[in-house]
Structure 1
Amino acid sequence: MKRVLIIGGTGSIGRLVADRLLELGHPPRVLTRDPDRAQRSLPDGVEVVAGDLADPVALRAAAAGVDAVVMTHGAPYGSGDYAAVDYGAVPAVLDALEEHRVPVVLMSSIGVTASGGQSRELLEWKRRGERLLRVSGLPYTIVRPGWFDAGSSSHQRVDLHQGDRIEYGPARRDHVAETIVQALLTDSARGRTVEVFSADGPALTDWAGAFHAAEPDRPGDLDGARDRPGPRPQAEPERVRADLRRHAHTPLTHEL
């Protein structure tokens, strides 16, 4: 894997992913609106590319020649930019890749299937991004972190679950980053949606086995393998329906 594009590479998880990819010999490329800040916060060896998600020319240039894409982006909570960023990055990356089929690992969130709460708008847009990626035809993995920094130092084991099990709770940031990197490098992670939590016990070493044990998402289904059924596509905003019509490479189980 010669080059990995990271969308959101200056965030807390993106920086950890970049560090780990460098350590493993997979040089990352980070797209950022503030290259000077990125150069200061990222280690030597990370290629920094100036550009914005909303600029298709810059994004296409950043995606040129990459072997994989990691998406750890997210709008600041309370900003109201969730449609443009948390969701909008997904169709933007699909457009930039064109017909270039490379693995994509998308960091989403637990709770995306919840029906209410203060974060409802944010989670709905994250779920829409998940759904579009699932039917894009790309070899993908969707990683949903548990609650950041809610655990303890005794939680040494990465614990993977499915079905949007928010009750499991905490996730260490380094565990989330390691799961993203291992999903990128592990064939059995393809076509799966997993939640990441931190638990007591020995560190996870058999990543291939852990991903293989997860149920794969059903081809053509917009939702994860064990998720509660989501809204029908007809109930989604027209923007989302248009993106599904444009990017769906597998026959959908629901009509648009």
Structure 2
Amino acid sequence: MKKVLILGASGSIATLIERQLLDNPEIQMTLLARHPERLAADIHQDSRVKVVMADVVKDQAQLVAAMQGQDLIYANLYGANLKQQAQHVIAAMDTANLSRLIWISANGIYNEIPGKYGRWNAEMLGSTLDAYAAGAKVVESSHLDYTIIRPAWFSDKNTVSYELTQKGQAFKGTEVSRQSVATYISSLILDPDQGIKQSIGISEPNTAGAKPSFY
């Protein structure tokens, strides 16, 4: 049985991942959220799911306790204090003697987007992009077996279609479906030897342009 801890478990991508993982009878999940009442009822009521109410910065002891016995951490976190959140997650993983972390970030944290879309993305995200970049830098500076995911702007398409780029490559595309991102992250959770020490961009093929199609 593989045990997975999801931080920020009530988020939209996290919820999709949780539903995909529940299809696998060999997965047990611990869902950590500041507002567990926002978790989908069909997920948190499953017998293979445990719910923990905690804040990764304010509740370090609860975070460490939730990590005990886990095989992998998926961090679906956001906010202006992502650097601090990353520091607390890494410290808790050290205490719990864990090494495998999947960390979601954003496209543009390395100024890796060329042309008009790169400028539009930076303007739209503003200080949020700085927070994502700071969090990712902390993760990359750690000794952990991390994978950083840098998605394009999320669409609500009910399709799975994506292409990947590595750190150092120009980012492709402007958008990607939430289903695509969830499917890719679920694949990493099920086969955690993929993508170690990598920062991976994900977007839908053939979506290049000045901005996402829904803007």
TM category (shorter chain) comes to: 0.7 to 0.9
Look up the match of 1:126: 132
Report the Cα distance in structure 2 between the residues aligned to 1:23 and 1:199, rounded to whole angstroms. Answer: 27
Match runs of 1:94-243 below 5 Å:
94-99=90-95, 100-114=97-111, 116-149=122-155, 156-162=160-166, 163=168, 165-166=170-171, 168-184=173-189, 185-199=191-205
Contact 1:110 1:164 in 2 (8 A): no
Contact 2:8 2:34 in 1 (8 A): no
Report the Cα distance in structure 2 between the residues aligned to 1:164 and 1:108, rounded to whole angstroms. Answer: 16
Kindly state the Cα deviation for residue 58 of structure 1 after the two structures are TM-superposed: 1.4
User: If each structure's strand is expressed as a fraction of its own residues, which one has the higher value?
Assistant: 2
TM-score, with normalisation over the residues of structure 1?
A: 0.67
Report the Cα distance in structure 2 between the residues aligned to 1:89 and 1:129, rounded to whole angstroms. Answer: 7
Look up the match of 1:204: none
Look up the match of 1:46: 49
3-state SS of paired residue (1:52): coil
Equivalent of residue 68 in structure 1, options 68, 72, 83? 72
Report the Cα distance in structure 2 between the residues aligned to 1:179 and 1:131, rounded to whole angstroms. Answer: 22
Which ranges in structure 1 are unaligned for 5 or more consecutive residues? 76-81, 201-256
Which ranges in structure 2 are unaligned for 5 or more consecutive residues? 112-118, 207-215
Could you tell me which amino acid in structure 1 is paired with residue 17 of structure 2? V
Could you tell me which amino acid in structure 2 is paired with residue 65 of structure 1? G
1:88 aligned onto 2:113: no
Deviations 1:180-212 (A, max 9, x none): 122232413111111111237xxxxxxxxxxxx
Look up the match of 1:57: 61
1:6 aligned onto 2:10: no
Kindly state the Cα deviation for residue 164 of structure 1 after the two structures are TM-superposed: 6.6
TM-score, with normalisation over the residues of structure 2?
A: 0.79
Report the Cα distance in structure 2 between the residues aligned to 1:63 and 1:197, rounded to whole angstroms. Answer: 31
Q: Which moved more, 1:136-145 or 1:125-134?
A: 125-134
Contact 1:39 1:48 in 2 (8 A): no
Look up the match of 1:22: 22
3-state SS of paired residue (1:10): coil
Could you tell me which amino acid in structure 1 is paired with residue 69 of structure 2? G
Report the Cα distance in structure 2 between the residues aligned to 1:91 and 1:192, rounded to whole angstroms. Answer: 19
Same amino acid, percent of matched pairs: 26
Deviations 1:153-179 (A, max 9, x none): 6x6432111347455111110110111
Could you tell me which amino acid in structure 2 is paired with residue 56 of structure 1? Q
3-state SS of paired residue (1:117): helix
Report the Cα distance in structure 1 between the residues aligned to 2:169 and 2:76, rounded to whole angstroms. Answer: 18
Kindly state the Cα deviation for residue 88 of structure 1 after the two structures are TM-superposed: 2.2
Look up the match of 1:36: 37
Contact 1:113 1:164 in 2 (8 A): no
Kindly state the Cα deviation for residue 29 of structure 1 after the two structures are TM-superposed: 0.7
How many aligned residue pairs are there?
A: 190
Could you tell me which amino acid in structure 2 is paired with residue 177 of structure 1? A
Deviations 1:74-99 (A, max 9, x none): 13xxxxxx12xx33221111111125
Contact 1:3 1:66 in 2 (8 A): yes
Look up the match of 2:115: none
Kindly state the Cα deviation for residue 63 of structure 1 after the two structures are TM-superposed: 1.3
After superposition, the Cα gap between the structure-2 partners of 1:41 and 1:189, relative to the gap in structure 1 and judged at 3 Å, is same
Could you tell me which amino acid in structure 1 is paired with residue 36 of structure 2? P
